[in-house]
Amino acid sequence: MLTTLSTVATVTTLTAAALFALPVAAGATTCSTPWGSTPKAVTNFVHGNLAAVRAGHHDCFDRVVLDDSRANSGYRVHYVSAVHDQGRGAVVPLRGGAFLEVVDQSAAGRLAMPSVAGFPTLRQVASGGSFEGYTTVGVGVRARLPFRVFRSGTHLVVDVAHHW
């Protein structure tokens, strides 16, 4: 009987230890997003034409891409209390707890804005219009989170991290 109790105690201990020592799920992603939330900008006198705005979801961040005709047109991206449209200055209504104003040195006609329904970080992407060679796109974000901005050829890429 002592052997049976000893075996039961050992099995119980091993089962409890296994439950608390479960490995991280296979394929789990560790995100390193040390980008910060300060303004990012490149200023020059090259202007392009904005053709499209797209959005995508990745493991560690959500992405907004502005497809431009020029690879080196300037931009300014920063958190603001409200995004204002080009020309009139009216507030662009956006969903979210924080707002990124993306200003691209490109002219644009009417652009379709992408749906970001179901994205972990992005809440809305909205047009702020175009005026005198500058186009504004407002990005509603869940909260003020780290972001990075870079050009990849003719694409202006804005990545917003899911977490700090």
d(CA 35, CA 54): 21
Nearest Cα neighbor of 125 from 139, 142, 111, 144 is 139
- pLDDT of 47 reads 86
- pLDDT of 18 reads 36
- pLDDT of 32 reads 86
Class of the CATH-defined domain 40-161: mainly beta
* Global confidence as pTM: 0.81
35 Cβ contact partners less than 8 Å away, ≥ 6 residues apart: 146, 147, 148, 159, 161
Task: Beginning with the edge strand found earlier in the chain, give each strand of the sheet holding 98-104 in spatial order.
Answer: 40-42, 75-80, 98-104, 134-141, 122-131
Name the region of 132 (left: φ>0; alpha: ψ -120 to 50; beta: rest).
left
How sure is the predictor about 152, in pLDDT bands with cuts at 50, 70 and 90?
A: very high
The domain spans of the chain are 40-161
